[in-house]
Structure 1
Amino acid sequence: MTDTSNGNPEKPNSDRKTFSGKFFNEVDHFVNEDGNYIFCRHWEPSNSPEKLLMIAHGYAEHCGRHERMAEMLKEMGFHVFSHDHYGHGESDGRKVDVTDYRIYLRDMLQHVNIMKQRYPGLPVYLYGHSMGGALSMLLAHENPSLFQCVVLSAPMISKSAEFSSTWKVYLAEKLSSLMPHVGIAALDANTISRNPAEVERYKNDKLNYTGKVLLRMACQLYYIQNAATNSLPDINFPFLVIHGSGDKLCSVEGSKMLHQLAKSTDKTIKIYEGGYHELIHDTEGYDQRLLDDVKQWLNERNTQTS
């Protein structure tokens, strides 16, 4: 899909390339409000779609890592669409660096509106993982009539103890304005999954970022968490939140707080004992259990609204 309805028409012979060297005019993409090229993926059902669903990926990864979930949703009649956030995967931008996290929200909303224009009248659903889970919460909260319901996988809600005190935040903010690209710590790939093969696959995926978190990005991640936490008492949309109790990247306590504090009358939490951050790539059959739980929950809501 190439969309130029956003006021940033693509040059017919554009030489802009994705991170892996593909020409953007040969792949699905849209141009955001800043003129940056955002790489897209689509999973379309064999028949005319009955509904739309956007997947929002997490920090330092890309939307292609959610292929298995997307394929399952496609078989349910969803036209699944997603994009690599600015600065992630194949999209434009310095790797995992953004001046304002709301750029991610703005691009997500733009993509949803593009798809709504293409498929007028179809209901829209939202699935977000990790950072993408927190962003999905915020997007749905700010646009309450836009989504039928939301599925959140290990959402980034709980604040890190290492970066929650006032003085640490103040110091990080001051330093990030002076040295935004200083790396402070790297994500430990072993916390992604208990399956060693999946850990290696993550580390060997060139579209993932495995370097240190940049100081400016660390601040933006904190702002996302803070905004998500502050929104919890006002959340009033139907949601399923799924989380592994052994998640060392995004604490399960954040999902518990969401379920406890949200105003939503339709809210479900499923905790997978011992599961790590990416349940779809974890052991003990949690991958299939996750798919089954998401499918059942969505089917129940489809029945209620049909």
Structure 2
Amino acid sequence: MIYQKDYFINNSKATIIIAHGIAEHSGRYEKIALTLNQNGYDVITYDHLGHGKSLGARGKIRSFHDHIDVLNMIVKKEKTRNNNKKIFLLGHSMGGEVVNLYAVKYGDVDGIISSSAATKTPSNAKILRVIGFWYLRWVPINTKIFDKFLAKDPKVLEKNKKDELMLSKMYISLIGEMFVKGIKYLNKNVSKFKTPVLYIHGTSDGIVDVSASKEIIEKISSTDKTLKIYEDEYHEMLNDYNGEKILIDIIEWVNDRVWKFYLYA
């Protein structure tokens, strides 16, 4: 079972589906979902396999395709419900990678918002490309070692520590599938990325370097692509001090695409 929470309103303009990052869960995006509601959007949040309240071995994955295909099931279901309104995907970190992968594998949504996305193999994971990760797949990694790079706001970090749905460990199988094989697949098929997209990234991101977004936007085939770089922002910009301002940028970008879609429909 995939855990999903719907934030539906009357007379929405479009639907935004949120894909969370590695080791976290969809509940952390409730405030963002409610703000999007206030701006006229239906929102769907869900937990990836092996995360939060969804099924699957904690912090593991069989194939990176599983994450993409789960999202496709959610998109298909929403298309039957929302009366042909537009659908956008908002993904953060690993979720950002997932929505980028979705754009090249399915490409049947109306826009992508990619936040601090892992679209480039992290330097500390490159060794797995050399030695392989099959024999190391059950080796655990303590997720807490990354906490200090997430946000500047100590309240965010403290809340993470107390959150029982946050994964305390993940496995090499997940790292290898997503950040080695998944990114290899993305680069191999990047010419298929034709969906409108907004990339956002912070210059002080200590988990996924800003170069990831700078490089991927140059490779994709989309003719509607925007990159917004935020000075001194950490990995979790939307949960940090300037999160509300950055979310306004996202809303304005989506508003503009929705307006264009219906103007020229």
- Secondary structure, counterpart of 1:188 in structure 2: helix
> What is the RMSD computed on CA atoms of the aligned residues?
1.7
Residue 175 of structure 1 corresponds to: 135
Distance 1:119 1:174 in 2: 41
1:126-205 correspondence runs (5 A): 126-144=89-107, 146-165=108-127, 168-176=128-136, 180-186=137-143, 187-205=145-163
Shift of 1:233: 4.2
CA contact (8 A) 1:157 1:226 kept: no
* Residues 227-236 or 267-276, more deviating: 227-236
Q: Distance in 2 between matches of 1:169 and 1:148?
A: 33
Match of 2:237 in 1: 279
Equivalent residue pairs, number: 260
Equivalent pair of 1:203/1:210 in contact (CA under 8 Å): no
Shift of 1:170: 4.6
Q: Distance in 2 between matches of 1:174 and 1:237?
A: 33
1:289 aligned residue? 245
C-alpha distance in structure 1 between counterparts of 2:120 and 2:134, whole Å: 23
Task: Identify, as 1 or 2, the structure richer in helix.
Answer: 2
**Structure 2: unaligned runs, 5 residues or longer:** none
Q: Work out whether residues 52 and 166 of structure 2, in 8 Å CA contact, stay in contact via their aligned partners in 1.
A: yes
CA distance in 2 between partners of 1:208 and 1:114 (Å) = 27
- 1:101 maps to which residue? 64
CA distance in 2, matches of 1:40, 1:184: 27
Q: Which residue of 1 aligns with 2:29?
A: 66
> Which residue number in structure 1 is paired with residue 16 of structure 2?
53
Match of 1:208 in 2: 166
Question: What is residue 124 of structure 1 aligned with on the other side?
Answer: 87
Unaligned runs of 5+ in 1: 1-36
Taking structure 2 as the reference length, the TM-score comes to 0.92
AA paired with 1:238?
Answer: P
Q: Separation in 2 of the partners of 1:303 and 1:164?
A: 42
Q: Deviations over 1:91-132 (max 9, x none)?
A: 112111111111111111111111212233222111111111
Deviation at 1:50, TM superposition (A): 3.1
- Taking only the aligned residue pairs, the percentage that are identical comes to 27
| Post-superposition CA distance 1:236-285 (Å, at most 9, x none) | 211111011111111110100122222222111111111100001223xx
Larger Rg computed on CA atoms? 1
Is 1:39 matched with 2:23? no
| Residue 80 (structure 2) pairs with residue 111 (structure 1) | no
Instruction: Give the structure, 1 or 2, with the largest relative contact order (CA under 8 Å, sep 6 or more).
Output: 2
